[in-house]
Structure formats: C-alpha cells, structure tokens
Structure 1
Amino acid sequence: MRFNLGEALQRASRTDDAIEAYREALKLDAKLNVARVNLGKALAEKGLNGEAKETLREATRQKLGDTEAHYNLGVLLMRENDLDGAIAEYQRTLAAAPKHASAHNNMGVAFNEKGDPRKATDAFLKAIAADPKFAEAHFNLGLAYYQLGDFARATKAFEKAVVLEPQRSSGPYTQLGHLYLTQGKKKQAVEAFKTAIEKSAEDGKKTTEAYQGLARAWLSLGKADEAVATLKTAVGAFPKDASARAAYGEALRAKGDLDGAIAEYEEGVKLAPTPENRLALADVYAQKRVGAKAQPLYKALLDEDPTNRAAKLALADLLLAMGDYVAAEGLLKPKDGEEADTAALARLGIVHSRRGRPELAVSELEAVVAKDPAQLEARAELGFIYLRGGDGAKARKVLTSVLSVDPRHSLGLLYMGHTLYQQGNTKGAEKSFRNAVQADPNFAEPHNALGQLLEATKRIDEAKDAYKMAVQLQPDHPDARDALKRLTASAPKP
C-alpha cells in the first residue's frame, strides 16, 4: 500500500511525498526492490544524484539482473556523462531483457556521444526491432545516419518519426529541414522548418535552430526579405541568443543593410564575445570601409591567436582597400621557414602590383591563378596588369572570365570599365563603372573612375557628384579630392 501510494504521488508530481512513501515501504519490507528502484528514480528527479545512484546500486545488489534497476542507473550515469558506466548498465539490462527497447535506444545515444555512430546505428535498429513504433528511436537513427553521411536513410528515419508522432514532435521536422537543404530540396526544407517552429510551441522545445534553418532555406531560394523577417522573429523570441543575433546580422548583410547587420553583430558580441562573432563584426565593418573599427578587432584576434588565418587575410584585404600597401605587405610576407598559402600569395601579388612592381606581380598572380582559379581578386588584378602593359585584349579576356563567375565582382567591374574605356567603348565603360558602384556602394575607386569618365565627356555636374561620393567614402583619396577641388574652383561664379 505504501508503494502504491508512492507511485500515485509520483504521478501527481508530489515527488517529496512519494519519496517518503517509498522509504516507509522499504522500512516495512526491505526486500521490496521495486520500491527501491522507484525511490532512486524519485531522488534523481529531485536532483539528489548521489543518493539516487547509491539507492539504485543497492537495488542491483539486492536483486541481480533487475532490469529496471540497471536501466535507471544507466540513465543516471548518462546524465553525469559517465558514458562507459551507462553503457555497462544498459548491457546488464539487455542481458536480462534482450528486447528492452529503451535500453537499446539509450545505448545508441551513449555510443553517439562517444563518437561512434556505427555502433549507435546498430543499437537504434535493435530498439526499433523491439518496438517498431518507438518514434524517438527512429529520430535518433536519423541523427546517426546523418552523421555517417547517409542522407537518404536519415531522411527516411526522420520521416518515420514524424509519421509516428505527428502532433507533438518538432525535432524530426528540424532535422528534415537540414536534410532537405543538404539535398537541394529547398521548398521542402522551408515547409519542414515552418512545421518545426509550429510544433516547438507545443512540445516545449522551442529553440532558434528551426528559425535559423528556415532563414537559410529562404536565402537559398533568393528570398532575403523572408529570411530577414524570420530571423527578426527569432531575435524577438530569443533576445539573449547570440547565434540568433549572428544569423540575423548575416541575413541583413546579404540584403545589403550593413548598418542593421552591424547592430546585430555588436549585440551578438556582447552576449558571446567568441572569436567567430568578433570576426563577423570586423568583416562587416570592413565591408562598410569603417577601418577605424575593423582594424582593432582583427589585430586583437591576431594577438590572441597569430595563426587565425581568416583574421589575417581579412586584415590584409582591409589594408589593401585602405591603400596601406606597406602594412599589407608586412602582414602577408612569409616569415622565415613559413610557407604562404595560395590566398596569401594572391594578396601579396596584388600588393606588388599596386606598389609598381609588375615584374614580381605577374609571375606571382599567374602562379596563383593557375593553381587556384577561384582567387577572383588575383585574376582581376592580373587582368589590370595586362591592361597597364598594353595588352587590352588579354586583359579583357581575363576580366570577362572573372565576371562570368561573379557578375557582381566589384573589382572585376572596375577594371573592365578601364579596359573598355581604353578600347574606346565609353558607353560600355560607364555601365561597368556604375555596376561596380552598385555591387559595392562603399568602394570609393569606382566612383572616382566614373567621375573621370564623366569629366572627360564634359558632364561636369555628374562628375562632381561622383568625385564627392568618392571623397565621402575615402576622405584621403588624392585623385578624387584634387579633381573635386579643380572642378569646384573652375565652376563659373553666379
């Protein structure tokens, strides 16, 4: 009676009273092992893990092969991250009850935590064989297959979990969304993530993962507005989640709202000042050409970790954009015994080009482009060197190849404009310069080049506007600044 009362109290969430009832039952009958097992479970519910563990160990001693005692002890050990101890207890459970589905399932979870998805897969399959309607085991099997890179089987497992628990399970829908994205099924991914968000309100497992997945799915479909709206909702629901802030910032950046992106990245850094978050903030500052804020962030990251390649290359790009070629060269030049990678050599070749060393730049950039054609900046710079050397046809061929890969490559568009202008195609040059301005509104040089073209074609007012914008973006731009002074001084007096 005491034991039955304890069970009733535990079901009613009156755990303290249930513990007392189980203790009383054991005083009356010390061999009532089922009361000891339930007492251990109730103590674990209260967070009294030490006493719970000892109680369950006593239960295994009192009755060898007690499946529930071993199983619950395994659950407790797994909570404490004692994976080997948990696996041993699940094995003892299964020795006594080979079709204990939950023990097979939990054993699989433990193997997954240990980084062995193959053993985990075997355990989940045994759990499903013991209970084909065990939705959690199907879900966990999907995770294991996903880790093994078997996306087809993973998809089937998650879809089965959804069929078995359509009303309350958000997890499988989230994982399905990720899988659909991996497989290029973008529209299915959108629907899966939407459903995950809806279900998460019901199952109490609301996280930003589904929101971020939905945003990525929208971006993959080219729908930046929908991605931004999704992440705005996520940030509203989870204002202290740094990953949601970072994802929102990324979406705003993709949409071209750099000020909005900076605000989100700054909040994300306050919440979690990880190297990744600080690098993302520095990158968007650099994209906006706010070197005074980007440069200290990059330098701090490199002070902390001199091997941070992403920060090093990004700082080099910033220095190149600022025209500080000496500092960029010092950063990129390999130290004694150090071998520069292709990305660093590409930037070093650009430095040599802009410092008037074409004999060095050509050989370096040609070697980089031959080894890694994806280095578009290097290819664009090489095309411009060919142009300066008088080979306009070769320059145009190289720059056309850059723009065929990325039609919005701002440097490629700028250099193509110069090439077309030199070949007498003023209309095409103007279009290329304007496209460069649209591709990167914060890049001063295309505005200056456009100003030069407009001035040469006697469109003085338009030229002044272009020079003004170049100076606004880069106050120390000597050519634009001098041209603006010259045109302002020569303007007729009213």
Structure 2
Amino acid sequence: MCIRIGLPLKMVIAILMAITLGSGYKEGLITAWLRLSALHEGSNEYSLAVKACENALALAPYASPLYMRLGEIYLKQGRYDLAEGAFALAFRYNSRLTAVTKWGDALFARGEVEEALEKWRKALRLNPADAGLHYRVGLALMRIGRLEDAIVEVERALPEIPQAHCLLALLKAPQSPDAALAHAERCELPAWKGWPWLPLEAQDLKELEEILTEPSETARLMGLGGLYLRLGEPHLAERTFLKATVQTPGSPEAQAYLGYARSLLGKDPEPEFARALRLKYTLPLTHYLWGLHLKSRGKLEAAAQEFAYALSQDPENPAYCAALADVALMRGDYREAEKWYRKATDLAPDEPGFWLLLAQFYVDVLLRGDQEAIGAAQEAINLAPDNPKAYELLGRAYYYSGRSDLALHYLQKSLQLAPVWACGPEPEGEGTALTPIGPCLSPEALRIMYYLGTVYASRGEREAALELFHRIQELAPDSQWAEKARGVERHLGVNTF
C-alpha cells in the first residue's frame, strides 16, 4: 500500500523545484503544475495528475508538450478517446512526430487499426528511418491481412527492435519455416507483461518452435493454423489453412478450419464447410466448427443441432458437451447448461478447464456458494494450483456462502497469482518507443480487486475496501470494474465524482 503525500506538501515541493530552476512567475507556475502532475502520477493518483496538467494548460493553452503529457496519462488509464483528442491538439500545436505516433497508438488500442495505420504512415513521412514506426506499420498491416507488406515493414525495424524477430517468425512460418525458425531463435520477448505490440508469450514461442521443426508439411501447417487461432490472428490462420487445403485438397479438417478462420474474419464460410461435409459428412470436427459459426451469428437452435451431431459421432469429447452447455446458457436454460457442464467434467475429470467452466457457471451465473460450487472450484485448484481464476471463483463461492474469512484468503491468493502489473519503464528519448498502452493493471487483477473490495465492505472494513476501489478508479476509470466500484462507494455513503 502506497503512502500518499498530501496535496499541499506536494504543491510546495513542486513550487520549490520550479523556483530552483529560476523560471519567471508564469513559467514557474506551469513547471510547478507539471512537477505536481508527475508526483501524483508516480503515486498512481492519475485523476490528480490530470487536474494538475489541466491547470498548467489553463496558463498555456497552446503548449504542445502539455497536451502530450495529458495524452500520456490518459493512455495509462485506458481512456483512449481522451488520449486521441489530447494528441490531436499536440499535433496541431507542433509536437508533430511524437504526437501523431501516439495518436496512432490510441487508435490502435481502441481497435481502429486502419486509422492507426494512417497516422503511423504520416509519422513515417516525418521520419522514414524510425524503426519503431516501421514495426507499428508492419503490425497494423498484419492485422488487416496485408501479410507480405507486413513482412517488408517489420524487417525494416531490425536490428533496433529485437521483438521484430518474433513477429517475423509468425509472419514467415507458413511459407518459409526455416527462415521463421531462425527468427524464432533470435526472438527477444519483452521484459514486462501486457506488451501490446506482440501477440505471443514464452509458451507460445516454444510451441511455435516445436511446430516449425515438424517434418510433415501438412502437420506443420495445421499446427500453425491452430496456434494462430489461439493467438487471435485469423488472417494468419486463414492464409495457413488455405495453403493446407492446396497441399492436401482431400482433407476435410483443413477445409473446416479454413471455413472457421473466415468466419472469424466476418466472411462467408459456407463454401468451405460445404466442401468439408462433402469430403466426410460424419467428421465431428466440421459440425463443431460450423456450430461455432452459427452460434456467433445468433443461430442457437441450429448450433445446438450441430454440436449434438458432433457429440453423437464422438460421445467421449468433453468440448462438444461444453459447447452444448454454452448454447443452453445463452438460451437461458440453466438446468440444461448445468447438465452439459457436468457431463464435460465427467468425461475429462483431469482437465482443469472444464472444472473452471462448471465453477464459473455456478458462481458467475447462479451466484451459488453451495458445496457443488465450492467443490468445482476446489477441483480446478487441485488440477491447476497456479490458476488465479480458480482461486477467485473459490473465494467468491465462499463469499456467497457467508464465509468471508475464507473468501478473503482465496481472493488474496488469486490476486497474488494474477498478472497484476502490465507496465514497462517510461519511454526514453524520442516518443516513438514501443511502450505499453493502457491501464497499468491487468483486467484480471482489476476484477479480483473489485471482488476483494466487496468482501472487505461486507465485513465492515471500510478503509480497506475504499483503498481497493480508489486504486481501480485511478488506474482504469472507464472500466466496468471502476463503475461497479463507484456503485459500492455510493452504497457506503462515499461521494464519487
């Protein structure tokens, strides 16, 4: 828990620092507000940091560096729309290269990839040799499916950006496995968690290297496609499965996966699924993937029929049971959902993921704290003792059962295991450095902290609860957990703004 310096003392420190610099009165006040903003930011008091920065802007409304500073704070809070506005003003008032780069970063964080690409290309025209910008442009091109152009741009980021080897390994793997493996072996993963510029982590890199050494091209392509799907890169998956269908045109699995990748891209996958069914109608995988497509389009009855057929062909597959449970849950049939979640755990009693689904159903949906809910979460912990979600669900189940002491114990354990800090160091030098974007706290940690705060509040430990709620609101004020925290604060009689 951090020790907060009171506002008057912070302001005195800032003013003394400004006076030491020998500035004029107005310039000294601006410097003081900026120093105060930095002090608040260092204590994770982002709302006060914003206010101090706004006070400086009131004295110098056309100062581009002040808008840059404000935008950086908004980026750390995940307030991307406000960050975009601040960087746009900084660009207008002169900080052109850095401002337009960060403007693109804010757009990218909001999922507006093509708009981000346009800003980064504009920045590249200002500094054509910037490696960080070439990397950004390459990543954006990958995300919109221009894969060959992406390779060209990411190669231009070497050697300054060592993570470019990681991205090139992903991009080149389907066509040039040897070159991809060479890049993978030189890949340097970032030292901090939550880095938004690379879609893989250490375990993914290890899996990629294993796939690239697979002697069978068909097996290699199918493995790569599956990895791309798990990484959330459907464009790469589509290209890989398309190559697999050319390599083995008689493979219904390749056709089905190609259809599923195209479904994720919003394309019509029916031709690929139709080919897969013609090749082998009874293949359960095809019906399962087609069912996932139908479910994503809201066609729940048809999806349930496909999942049921898949299960009839492979009655020992727990994934098909879980899919039927998901559809039942979406239709509001809780009894049917519970039946299929329990069936999945019966078929795969040693798989923690299915116990987590069952526990999540009991706790998240039914808000149950009975022995069945506690037992499912405990079984998930037994099978995966480092999984923070399992401890969170067990803690919440005990909370619903009225045993707040055990709820605190397991939620605190969950928070210890969760990827809490998702931040890296402050950028050095030019503002095009590839630094983290967004709240300095993982979504998992935000959620766990909220539930931990509610347990403290229920026990009458008001200060402990408010400390957690305050931290959530400072670090991610626009998140659903900040909104929920404000609701509990109002219930506790705290004025929230």
TM-score by structure 2 length?
Answer: 0.46
- Please state which structure has a larger fraction of its residues in helix: 1
Higher RCO (C-alpha under 8 Å, 6+ residues apart):
2
